[in-house]
Structure 1
Amino acid sequence: MSEKESIAVSVIIPVHNAAGYISDTLSTVLSQTLNDIEIIIVNDCSDDNTLEIVSALAETDSRIRVINNTTNLGGGGSRNIGLDAATGEYVIFLDDDDYVDNMMLERMYARASDIQADVVICRSQSFDPALQVYAPMPWSVRQELLPDLKFFSSQDIPSDFFRTFVWWPWDKLLRRQFITSHQLRFQEIRTTNDLFFVCAFMLMANRISVLNETLISHTINRSESLSATRAESHRCAVEALVALKAFICQQGMMEHRLRDYKNYVVVFLEWHLNTISGPAFHPFYQQVKEFVVALDAKSDDFYDEFIAAAHHRITTLSAEEYLFSLKDRVLKELEFFQARSSALQQEVETLTHSFAGQKDENAILHNQLHEIEERVTEQEQNIRQLTEALLNKSDFG
């Protein structure tokens, strides 16, 4: 086996101004139980001391390689740089604030090797650093849409393919040769640069396998993250969808996946509309509206009433009307959750009183049981005394 082939997994991590947490991220990667790994850190023009931190770690661990971009390329371009430098049989792209289970790569690589998978996907959870709260992310893999098979291809998912997974790369172990043979590259756009790459890979993959183990924690709600500043690059979402549509057409898949694509576009873009604020909203809304109208979707194209309702809102309302509609929906959801919270509180109080009553009842039963035990003990003593008396009588009889 050559030196290049001896690397099982290349871990590619673009970093930018991550001095506050990159050491924690790398400690979880360096503690992997899979030994044959390389860690490629692409420093994308950090202006804090991120480069000094990762360079110092590289001096102490030969598995780490640091690439220092001379110009700012963003996440997509930096991942491409890391991919070009990778030598592993498989690659995984992590964010600089992800935290991985120490057996993540061993478990995923074992599955990949066992069935010669093109991609292995694990379960994930979110981590909010401000609240120090972990939460499951069941929607990252929609089990109900998957075939009951150890491995499958996109063709085995008959409908709603684009909502089966989330198109980020950090929960997916990808065969590197498959990437290079299909000349796949991340889009070099500020945000949403992973959607096209991951989705195109998954559409073409012949052996997809899901490992139902939560092996990675993805950090959310970090104020300085790109996802938290999408208003500065709101057009990237549409650019990614345009590239995806062109790829689907090029691969001759559009006839089979057109309905899936329409549903995904509506859901994906409404999520962006609902999470972008400020002056970027109005121009982005107009762009989204034109894009969704151009889908030429009919009412029976949608998989459920919620997507149909979202399509109706986007295609018929002005930006101002949409904002009022969003406010109304948020208020209704708030009322629902407040009512639900009140009902749950009442249920808790009822259970508390019931438990207190149960405790009193248990105390009474305990006392009664104690009295019965005392009477039983007394009767046993009486029986022993009578038995002894009878035996004594028989001795003198």
Structure 2
Amino acid sequence: MGGNNMKISVIIPICNSEKYLPQCLDSVLCQNIDDMEIICVDDCSSDSSPDILEAYSKKDSRLTVIRSGTNLHAGVCRNIGLEKAKGEYVLFLDADDMLFKGAPEKLVKTAERYNADIVRCRAEDFDDVTGQSSISPHNSLKKVPPFLFDRAISYKSLYPVFSKICVAPWGGLFKRSFLIDNKIRFNSLVCVNDRSFFWESVLKAGTIVFSKVFLVHYRTNINTSLVGRRIKNFSCHFKSYELVYKASGALPPKMRRSILDAEMFDMAHWLEQSAGTEYFAQTVEMMSEFLNNMDKTVWNNIGRCVWYKRIAPL
């Protein structure tokens, strides 16, 4: 590997991903970037994922495998990969997703052109059952006005648009020195371990660029359901909210409210998803307690909030 001249590091947290891992790795290794490294952090997998990783690492020296003896969850695994990374830029990819051919190279060129700390880009949904691809407004930046693409912006100059885009770490390219120098890391929660990372990164970034490039095939409708994990560990939403609440404390009221509205919309969505499950009653009780204790001074009238109107009937 290219030592200090590494252009890009692709960091992949892996936990029992044997079904999708080969496709994921193939999509990365086929990229036309010689000065690229792939850092796979195996989170205590009990399936054949470790064997797959070992086989791939023997075939391609760009791939490094780090193994954890205990289950650390995706956020901590990404942090481990980031500490190991040498690339000028960093991509985070999930083990069940795939990269578009040529996309990372295009994003690096965009980042270099604008000297960007972050380049946010598009993703295409891929249904694992039907094999069909589709474009969702949330993952494809359809809610971003066309004139905002391919230009240097910052959060504070155009803050409302950031509440309308996907916060997933696979939705962007990051300058590694920006993340390291600002000590930006993922939280250690079982799930919801990326939302605080998103907000901290966009708040601290000097230059952000929205790109029309599609980077990731985002796999949907899979058996290892995020829905079940999020509902089972719903308290992670509250802990994530508190992290974002603290990180946004110094912002002007309108900016802070925009961020916290987005967090509560996400929470309302997952609360609705829990309806009909064995966890629903407990989740509603937890949400009620959270609302009773939360700082409501952020909103002039919480009863008017759209997210509150979604939660209240439940």
Give, in angstroms, the shift of residue 3 of structure 1.
Answer: 4.8
Task: Supply the distance in 2 between the matched residues of 1:69 and 1:271 (Cα, whole angstroms).
Answer: 32
Greater share of helix residues, 1 or 2? 1
For the 8 Å contact 1:146–1:157, the answer to whether it is kept is no
For the 8 Å contact 2:57–2:63, the answer to whether it is kept is yes
User: Compared with structure 1, are the counterparts of its residues 6 and 179 closer, same or farther at alpha carbon in structure 2 (3 Å cutoff)?
Assistant: same
Q: 145-154 or 105-114, which moves further after superposition? A: 145-154
For the 8 Å contact 2:8–2:36, the answer to whether it is kept is yes
User: Compared with structure 1, are the counterparts of its residues 189 and 300 closer, same or farther at alpha carbon in structure 2 (3 Å cutoff)?
Assistant: closer
Amino acid at match of 1:265: E
For the 8 Å contact 2:187–2:193, the answer to whether it is kept is yes
Residue 67 of structure 1 aligns with which residue?
Answer: 66
Describe the SS at the equivalent of 1:263. Answer: helix
Give, in angstroms, the shift of residue 204 of structure 1.
Answer: 1.2
Task: Supply the distance in 2 between the matched residues of 1:274 and 1:256 (Cα, whole angstroms).
Answer: 27
Task: Supply the distance in 2 between the matched residues of 1:206 and 1:246 (Cα, whole angstroms).
Answer: 20
Amino acid at match of 2:98: Y
For the 8 Å contact 1:259–1:301, the answer to whether it is kept is no
Amino acid at match of 1:241: Y
For the 8 Å contact 1:19–1:53, the answer to whether it is kept is yes
Give, in angstroms, the shift of residue 49 of structure 1.
Answer: 1.0
Matches within 5 A, 1:146-225: 147=148, 150-159=151-160, 161=162, 163-225=163-225
Give, in angstroms, the shift of residue 41 of structure 1.
Answer: 0.5
Structure 2: runs of 5 or more not aligned: none
Task: Supply the distance in 2 between the matched residues of 1:21 and 1:264 (Cα, whole angstroms).
Answer: 31
Q: 260-269 or 94-103, which moves further after superposition? A: 260-269
1:270 equivalenced with 2:271 (yes/no): no
Matches within 5 A, 1:132-143: 132-140=131-139, 141=141, 142-143=143-144
For the 8 Å contact 2:149–2:210, the answer to whether it is kept is no
Task: Supply the distance in 2 between the matched residues of 1:8 and 1:246 (Cα, whole angstroms).
Answer: 34
Residue 288 of structure 1 aligns with which residue?
Answer: 287
User: Compared with structure 1, are the counterparts of its residues 221 and 114 closer, same or farther at alpha carbon in structure 2 (3 Å cutoff)?
Assistant: same
Amino acid at match of 1:270: A
Task: Supply the distance in 2 between the matched residues of 1:77 and 1:148 (Cα, whole angstroms).
Answer: 32
Residue 11 of structure 1 aligns with which residue?
Answer: 10
Describe the SS at the equivalent of 2:133. Answer: strand
Spell out, residue by residue over 1:255-304, the C-alpha distance to the aligned partner (whole angstroms, 9 max, x if none).
Answer: 342321342233111101111242322222233234345353345996xx
Task: Supply the distance in 1 between the matched residues of 2:308 and 2:19 (Cα, whole angstroms).
Answer: 41
For the 8 Å contact 1:45–1:71, the answer to whether it is kept is yes
For the 8 Å contact 1:145–1:164, the answer to whether it is kept is no
Amino acid at match of 2:47: D
Residue 246 of structure 1 aligns with which residue?
Answer: 246
Amino acid at match of 1:208: I
User: Compared with structure 1, are the counterparts of its residues 14 and 300 closer, same or farther at alpha carbon in structure 2 (3 Å cutoff)?
Assistant: closer
User: Compared with structure 1, are the counterparts of its residues 255 and 176 closer, same or farther at alpha carbon in structure 2 (3 Å cutoff)?
Assistant: same
Residue 131 of structure 1 aligns with which residue?
Answer: 130
Matches within 5 A, 1:1-397: 3-140=2-139, 141=141, 142-144=143-145, 147=148, 150-159=151-160, 161=162, 163-249=163-249, 252-277=250-275, 278-292=277-291, 294-296=294-296, 297-299=299-301, 307-308=305-306, 310-315=307-312, 317=313, 322=314
Describe the SS at the equivalent of 2:239. Answer: helix
For the 8 Å contact 2:128–2:219, the answer to whether it is kept is yes
Task: Supply the distance in 1 between the matched residues of 2:81 and 2:2 (Cα, whole angstroms).
Answer: 18
After TM superposition, the runs of 4+ consecutive aligned structure 1 residues lying more than 6 A away are none
Task: Supply the distance in 2 between the matched residues of 1:185 and 1:267 (Cα, whole angstroms).
Answer: 23
For the 8 Å contact 1:37–1:63, the answer to whether it is kept is yes
Spell out, residue by residue over 1:92-133, the C-alpha distance to the aligned partner (whole angstroms, 9 max, x if none).
Answer: 110001111110111111111111110111111111111111
Describe the SS at the equivalent of 2:242. Answer: helix
Aligned length: 308
Spell out, residue by residue over 1:342-390, the C-alpha distance to the aligned partner (whole angstroms, 9 max, x if none).
Answer: xxxxxxxxxxxxxxxxxxxxxxxxxxxxxxxxxxxxxxxxxxxxxxxxx
Task: Supply the distance in 2 between the matched residues of 1:70 and 1:205 (Cα, whole angstroms).
Answer: 34
Give, in angstroms, the shift of residue 70 of structure 1.
Answer: 1.3
Residue 391 of structure 1 aligns with which residue?
Answer: none
For the 8 Å contact 2:11–2:90, the answer to whether it is kept is yes
User: Compared with structure 1, are the counterparts of its residues 229 and 273 closer, same or farther at alpha carbon in structure 2 (3 Å cutoff)?
Assistant: same
TM-score of the two chains, using structure 2 as the length reference: 0.91
For the 8 Å contact 2:107–2:213, the answer to whether it is kept is no
TM-score of the two chains, using structure 1 as the length reference: 0.73
Residue identity over aligned pairs, in percent, reads 27
Spell out, residue by residue over 1:154-194, the C-alpha distance to the aligned partner (whole angstroms, 9 max, x if none).
Answer: 01114364x23221100210011111111111111111101
Describe the SS at the equivalent of 1:96. Answer: coil
User: Compared with structure 1, are the counterparts of its residues 301 and 90 closer, same or farther at alpha carbon in structure 2 (3 Å cutoff)?
Assistant: farther
Task: Supply the distance in 2 between the matched residues of 1:26 and 1:44 (Cα, whole angstroms).
Answer: 16
Describe the SS at the equivalent of 1:117. Answer: coil
Give the number of the structure with larger relative contact order, counting CA–CA contacts within 8 Å between residues 6 or more apart. Answer: 2
Q: 259-268 or 109-118, which moves further after superposition? A: 259-268
